[in-house]
Chains A and B, each alone.
Chain A
Amino acid sequence: MLQIKKTVQNKTAILSPAGRLDTLTAPEMEEAIREATATCAALILDLSELEYISSAGLRVLLAAQKALSVRGKMTVRRANETVSEIFEVTGFTDILNIEK
């Protein structure tokens, strides 16, 4: 189960996914990112409510990062310990702009 809250502040889209970002929910996240970045070039992912992320979720983040690095900016903030560890293990800490 994944719930995605969307807000826009100063032309920056903020997406707050809550729950599990896995193979089954990754398409929803992908769609939400696509929608948000259609109008905003800056995207913030607030992961404070994200409990779980699998490689399917990482793929979505990587694709978004690739797309936005050309024409905007993606920032990731407030990931919990489990999710942060996954970023660490997979080298995503170096790929993503992670706000401390």
Chain B
Amino acid sequence: MNKQITIPLTGRIDSTNAADAEQKILAQLEGVDAGASVTLDFEKLDYISSAGLRVILRLKKTWNDLTVENVSSDIYETLEMTGFTEMMTVRKAYRVVSVEGCEVIGEGFNGKVYRIDRDNVVKTYKNADALAEIMHEREVARLALILGVPTAISYDVVRVGDSYGSVFELLNAKSFSKLLAGEPDKYDFCVAEYVKMMKRIHAITVPEGKLPPIKERSLRRIERMKDTLPDGLGDKLLRMAREIPDSDRMVHGDYHTKNIVLAGDEVLLIDMDTLSVGHPIFELQHMYNAYVGYSEYDPEIVRQFQGYSPEIARRFWRDTLAGYLGAKDEKKINEVEEKVRCLSYAGLIEGIDRHSSGDREKDAATRALWESRLIELLKRTDSLTFDVTPEGESDPDALDVEATVPNLDSVVDFVNAHLDAADCPPKAKMQIDLAVEEIFVNIANYAYAPEIGRATVRVSVADDPLTVSITFIDRGVPYDPLKKSDPDVTLSAEEREIGGLGIFMTKKIMDDVIYEYKDGQNILTLSKRL
């Protein structure tokens, strides 16, 4: 790593004092290697004229890795106009937000969430590397949204005191923790929505390399603690964990009731920084800890953390696990729970070995309890694997694919298989294929550009009169293709524009084309009577 040096500039720099300012800067850079990263902090700079800009250009000649930060919007405009923004890294000043006296609506390990006004909240970060963390979380949340997770995306990064925060628009948002604590009649609603969201996330296939595998994280923790277990049980645990199949499905990684909120009538997932891919057992591992494992020695911990009683926490865990597994049979639920707990305790033990709570006696007692339970479980467990069928896979009439042009063939094949089954005449089949191509290619090219997202294609055939309906669902930018005006098909070749024909033909060929935007989804349904 090269040396990093920051130099603050103040007041005005114009032709009267530019030479002077340059001397002062050079004095601070004396002996600093040309390969160093030099940052000029413009926070206290009110004005800079072209004479001042020339000073910066001269600095850039010696110190090529030059950054200008905390630039006010006025000065930013000057820098943009003069082309400076293309020559060097220029970072705008962040808006300053004060959270003094604001209601704290959430508190996590890394910071607090404050409501700054009726519609907006700011999430603050404790650690020094807050900016990198904010950027990471923004990126992950964006990816999640594109892949179909309803989540809140921060629209601004601001300065909060000495650190940074990200601002979200969250109208009347209430976490499930608050709902469970304050509105007992919402219990069933919370269980149902929580399970639904979990199944929804776990059904999402993530493009390779976009999210880290959660299994690695668990394996590392087991490796660090396994030798504290007797009789080779640690090695047994590690072997069983390694045998859990890899998966490219999404998991949240910290899925508990503080991270799922009801905003208006929409359920959103928040706190996306732990988003990963992997087998659902790793999701359940962290869930068990949030409701039960972490507070097994001292049940009051869960009340402090979630705001509701240990009884509610345990019941919520059992009910959501049963709902997720689709199992009514206690035996099946217990079987999975035992596998989950093996990983849960291993994680807890590794955690308490690294971070003491400050109360050594209590830590030791807590650890001993977890360890004894883990040992009991490991003695009678031979595999951590179990099967879950994520939602969306079981429906033979729906195809969920990455919306990319090369997938056109599989979409057309899928639709044709249904048309053949309905004895669709060849001509109608060609026409339906055409409409399917036009719509799918449109989604592939525009819905998520420049990113890649997913689309669902659902086919249904109704009798009397025999009608085929094909529904396309994507979570890309809202777009109503029916609003596009028809191309003028009477123009000559020279006057004709390329484009707009696809949707036009679709409308001509199909009997009905209906568009609707609902729950963040573009839903386009085409139907044709056969």
Contact = CB atoms under 8 A, between A and B. Distances in A.
Contacts of B509: 89
Contacts of A62: 493, 496, 498
B113 to A, nearest CB: 46
Contact of A90 (B409, B431, B505): B505
Contact of B493 (A23, A65, A81, A82): A65
B498 A59 contact: yes
B427 A82 contact: yes
A81 B505 contact: no
Interface string B497-512: 0110110110011000
B406 A81 contact: no
Contacts of B496: 62, 95
Nearest to A54: B437
Nearest to A92: B489
Given A23-B408, A82-B427, A89 B492 contact: no
Contact of B502 (A55, A63, A65): A55
Interface in B432-466: 433-434, 437-438, 441
B491 interface: yes
B365 interface: no
Considering residues B405, B430, B431, which has the most beta carbons from chain A within 10 angstroms of its beta carbon?
B430
A56 interface: yes
Contacts of B498: 59, 62-63
Contact of A69 (B434, B493, B502): B493
B492 A95 contact: yes
B434 A54 contact: yes
Contact of A24 (B406, B433, B490, B499): B406
B434 A52 contact: yes
B494 interface: yes
Interface string A35-72: 00000000000000001101110110011011001000
B48 to A, nearest CB: 51
A86 B435 CA distance: 12
Interface string A14-28: 000000001110000
User: For A54, A58, A59, A90, which residue has the most chain B Cβ atoms within 10 angstroms?
Assistant: A54
A51 to B, nearest CB: 7
B427 A23 contact: no
A96 to B, nearest CB: 8
Residue among B437, B492, B493 facing the most chain A CB atoms (10 A cut-off): B493
Contacts of B408: 22-24
B405 A55 contact: no
A23 B441 contact: yes
A99 interface: no
Contacts of A95: 492-493, 496
Contacts of A82: 427, 430-431
B494 A66 contact: yes
A45 to B, nearest CB: 14
Contacts of A69: 493-494
A19 B406 CA distance: 17
Contacts of B427: 81-82
B493 A56 contact: no
Contacts of A66: 493-494
B504 A90 contact: yes
A24 B405 contact: yes
A95 B492 CA distance: 6
B505 A52 contact: no
A28 B382 CA distance: 56
A59 B502 CA distance: 10
Nearest to A23: B441
Interface in B462-496: 489-494, 496
B88 to A, nearest CB: 41
B436 to A, nearest CB: 10
Contacts of A96: 493
B193 to A, nearest CB: 39
B405 A94 contact: no
A94 B508 CA distance: 18
A58 B408 CA distance: 18
Contact of A89 (B438, B491, B508): B508
Nearest to A69: B493
Contacts of A58: 501
Contact of B438 (A24, A51, A55, A63): A55
A56 B427 CA distance: 19
Given A24-B409, A55-B501, A94-B490, 15 more contacts: A23-B408, A23-B437, A51-B430, A52-B433, A55-B438, A59-B498, A59-B499, A63-B498, A65-B493, A69-B493, A69-B494, A82-B427, A89-B508, A90-B489, A90-B501
Interface of B: 405-406, 408-409, 427, 430-431, 433-434, 437-438, 441, 489-494, 496, 498-499, 501-502, 504-505, 508-509
Which 8 A-B residue pairings sit nearest by Cβ, starting from the closest? A91-B489, A55-B502, A55-B501, A95-B493, A54-B437, A65-B493, A23-B441, A82-B430
14 contacts: A23-B437, A23-B441, A24-B409, A51-B430, A54-B434, A59-B499, A59-B501, A65-B493, A66-B494, A69-B494, A82-B427, A86-B434, A90-B504, A95-B493
